[in-house]
Amino acid sequence: MKNLKPAAACVGTLLTASLVVATGCSSSNTTATTATNTPTTEQTTTTIAEPQPPVAKKVPKELTQHGHTRIDNYYWLNQREDPEVIAYLNAENAYTKQMLAHTEDLQKKLYNEIVGRIKQNDESVPFKDDGYWYYTRYEAGKEYPIYARKKGTLDAPEEIMVNANERAEGLSYYAAAGMNVSPNNQLLAFGEDTVSRRKYTIRFKDLKTGKFLPDQIPNTTGAAVWANDNKTVYYTMKDPALRSYKIFKHTLGTPSSQDKEVYHEADETFSTYVYKTKSDKYIIIGSGSTLSNEYRYLDADNPNGTFKVIQPRERGLEYSIDHFGDKFYIVTNKDGATNFKLMQTPVSKSGKANWKDVIPHRADVLLEGIEIFKDYLALQERKNGLTQIRVMKWNDPKTDYYIDFGEEAYTAYISVNPDFDSKELRYEYSSLTTPNSTYDYNMQTREKELLKRQEVVGDFDPARYESRRIYATADDGTKIPISLVYRKGLERNGNNPTLLYAYGSYGNSMNPGFSSVRLSLLDRGFVYAIAHIRGGQEMGRQWYEDGKMLKKKNTFTDFIDASEYLIEQKYTNLDKLFAQGGSAGGLLMGAVVNMRPELYKGVIAAVPFVDVVTTMLDTSIPLTTGEFDEWGNPAEKQYYDYMLSYSPYDNVEAKAYPNMLVTTGLHDSQVQYWEPAKWVAKLRDMKTDNNMLLLHTNMEAGHGGASGRFERYKETALQYAFLLNLVNQNQ
């Protein structure tokens, strides 16, 4: 056994043949107090035990690429079924619980606060589709949603399609997805995941009788798309690495083993999916990678027909399609349209040679998507970091206009709009101080109706809070937007606890939206900040391009520059600045604590992607092959070297690190649990400080954490207690 700390004196030490996990005390961290040099029976030595962190064994594993060898001492942790691995994760959980035991009352208080703001009996705004009103509702005390509908009017009797509370009985995890009703409104197809690996089994239910059909289709994405014959569905199968790689056709009443494969995406850098156009005219099979797309279409009235390619894939050509009339409408970057443009082409002549501009490319406006109606076209755009919704009429496109939202900083997006003939556009709106709001906007009269605003139960008043948008300056002169929210009256005296959050990958924009959960920090004096760093798409497509591949380090330095600016502007100081990120944002956390650990009092890294090089070299791991155009392919030396220069796990050093809370899920399908587990083990071995390093593994969940409406907030309460404890707020 190597690197094992003495633990013989500790009660509660777990011993295995190759692992020592000390869970009770530390023989090197005890104190003895005596009243005299010779204790009497009344004057005895008192030992104060302190928790000792688990120590993972070292099993050196040589990993060689391009003539360069790395030694991974914790590679063995990638065996999910190994009892030693489970023992180690459980020991880490026990250690975390011990280290935060004094915050348990605070955790309970935070949890009760958070769930107390949630309306127990709640319901989504119904949307109309083919004569039915569909909605989701929750019942008091229940963890899961009820999916329901009403025929004709909202006064009609309720039809419960799926009660997820009943489906989840006896399960530690449950998720339903892909609710899709047949064209005749009689059958429901949906997916169920009971493990949290995002591998769904598709089930079918007769909505007239309430009985489930015997058909079951395992190992899918959960979505089934109906042909217009009400008996044929198309679905997407996953391979062992969880890549969506095949489209099958299933006929109700037949075994899934007899389903016909209609498309196989053989390129491992692509994933495939299937959907139906809003017009209900075509079934569409899409294939996509980071830099390229390809689509096929089939008349939904002819499920036995053959799919036809719209435009063959070309590296660097991105496009998406929808249908209206006799044309396909295409959002694309064709001809150097970095921020994308809208084009159209006849269905009968769909190749790119026939594409014609509808909305030309604009250097200052990113076209994010479209929503097609019979008489109107709505476009979701982004300018100066904010979303905009633009409306135009098909027969008079020059009379276009933008919806006025009335605030300077906000987030807005087009919502569910299945009714092709409607003149009303449904959209969602929120800001850092305004709860999520659902509107119907009449595109003809330009009047809007607020249908619902998220109710925050209790003593909530948005007027108590203030939001701002400020800009840090990067080393290269780039202005980095930062969105802030805090209680009004906050003094910029450099002494406010501040939590800075960011993501910065895949072109995902972090919009300044509302969170009732966040109020538990704001009401205790925290500033909450979002750094809109490169790697997202807030400032246009180039913002994304400048934060990936061989420019990835811009993401990290942008976050550091934002951190320094918050201190410079006297929002906070080095002893009260905290950082948080998850998944690829967890990679961000790992990189910045290696680069500038002294900037942060504490860091929360949720499901962090930290073992970049090893993961990107292993094509059997989910998501690897499809992300070579995001991070680079380390099989090529220039990408290997660049990746190696920032990979958090590979760059852990013998130095002081901030207090850290790392979370993961045993069944995570996106970032495998062993990445954060290995990272923590290596940090624990090498760091030179006495700051907290905690690993919390949800042993029953995956990337999204616990299932259920309320259960997930126990982990949030743990994270908030971790932060508040570090600023000595345990109330």
List pLDDT tens digits, range 156-191: 999 999 999 999 999 888 989 999 999 999 999 999
- Regarding whether 569 and 432 lie in a shared domain, the answer is no
Section 711-724 average pLDDT: 94
Instruction: Identify whether 52 is part of a domain.
Output: no
Number of domains in the chain: 4
Out of 650, 668, 669, 707, the active site residue is 668
List pLDDT tens digits, range 51-60: 899 999 999 9
- Regarding whether 275 and 198 lie in a shared domain, the answer is yes
Out of 430, 611, 703, 707, the active site residue is 703
- Regarding whether 435 and 489 lie in a shared domain, the answer is no
Instruction: Identify whether 266 is part of a domain.
Output: yes
- Regarding whether 479 and 450 lie in a shared domain, the answer is no
129 part of the active site: no
Using pLDDT thresholds of 50, 70 and 90, give the confidence band for residue 197.
confident
For residue 484, what are the CA distances in angstroms to 342, 498, 560? 34, 10, 16
For residue 338, what are the CA distances in angstroms to 294, 429, 577? 18, 27, 36
Section 623-630 average pLDDT: 79
696 part of the active site: no
Last residue of a domain, one of 542, 558, 573: 573
Q: Which residues contact 597 (CB under 8 A, 6 or more apart)?
A: 655, 656, 657, 658
Out of 430, 563, 583, 707, the active site residue is 583
Instruction: Identify whether 32 is part of a domain.
Output: no
Using alpha carbons, select from 573, 519, 602 the residue that is nearest to residue 100: 602
Overall residue count recorded for the chain in this entry: 731
Instruction: Identify whether 358 is part of a domain.
Output: no
Q: Which pLDDT value is given to residue 290?
A: 86
- Regarding whether 288 and 181 lie in a shared domain, the answer is yes
Instruction: Identify whether 619 is part of a domain.
Output: no
- Regarding whether 490 and 568 lie in a shared domain, the answer is yes
- Regarding whether 237 and 130 lie in a shared domain, the answer is no
Using alpha carbons, select from 211, 269, 261, 268 the residue that is nearest to residue 236: 261
Mean pLDDT, rounded, of the chain: 90
Contact (CB, 8 A) for 106 and 40 = no
Last residue of a domain, one of 395, 423, 455: 455
Rounded CA separation 193/177 (Å): 8
Question: Where residue 511 sits, what CATH number does that domain have?
Answer: 3.40.50.1820
Last residue of a domain, one of 428, 455, 482: 455
List pLDDT tens digits, range 470-502: 999 999 999 999 999 999 999 999 999 999 999
- Regarding whether 427 and 522 lie in a shared domain, the answer is no
Question: Where residue 311 sits, what CATH number does that domain have?
Answer: 2.130.10.120
- Regarding whether 294 and 191 lie in a shared domain, the answer is yes
Residue range of the domain that includes 480: 459-573
- Regarding whether 308 and 179 lie in a shared domain, the answer is yes
Determine how many CB atoms are found less than 10 A away from the CB of residue 137: 16
Instruction: Identify whether 701 is part of a domain.
Output: no
Phi, psi of 407, rounded to the nearest 5 degrees: -130, 155
Q: Say yes or no to pLDDT of 31 above 90.
A: no
Radius of gyration over alpha carbons of the chain, in Å?
27
H or E, element range at 297: strand 293-299
Q: Say yes or no to pLDDT of 704 above 70.
A: no
- Regarding whether 209 and 155 lie in a shared domain, the answer is no
- Regarding whether 279 and 183 lie in a shared domain, the answer is yes
pTM, whole model, 2 decimals?
Answer: 0.84
Instruction: Identify whether 139 is part of a domain.
Output: yes
Q: Which pLDDT value is given to residue 461?
A: 96
Query: Which amino acid does the sequence have at 16?
Result: T
102 part of the active site: no
Section 209-225 average pLDDT: 94
Instruction: Identify whether 483 is part of a domain.
Output: yes
Using pLDDT thresholds of 50, 70 and 90, give the confidence band for residue 707.
low
Q: Which pLDDT value is given to residue 619?
A: 79
